Amino acid sequence: MHPLTKWRSERNLTRAEAAKIIGCKAGTIADWEYRRRFPSPGSITRIVKATDGDVTANDLHTGYRLPDEAAE
């Protein structure tokens, strides 16, 4: 489970509610949670601050693979 998904579910937040807290769009949250996109450095900073450190930069990197690794 993506760390943002876990954080949201523990707080019973929708993607729209989490997006408002983090300062992005709900679709962006979905892209991150489905690992279609990776948060930018600025977004990572906002996520860590918005979650009071419950989601860390290291948490966000877990489970991502480089494009060439995904093809193997």
Q: What is the CATH number of the domain that holds 55?
A: 1.10.260
Instruction: Please check whether residue 59 lies inside any domain of the structure.
Output: yes
Task: Tell me the percentage of the chain whose pLDDT exceeds 90.
Answer: 76
Task: pLDDT band for 71, please (50, 70, 90 cuts).
Answer: very low
Is residue 70 pLDDT above 70, yes or no? no
> In terms of residue numbers, what domain contains 40?
3-63
More reliable by pLDDT, 62 or 66: 62
Instruction: Please check whether residue 33 lies inside any domain of the structure.
Output: yes
In total, how many domains does the chain have? Answer: 1
Q: Is 0.85 topped by the overall pTM?
A: no
32-60 burial, b at 16+ Cβ within 10 Å, e below that, comes to: bbeeeeebeeebbebbbebbeeebeeebb
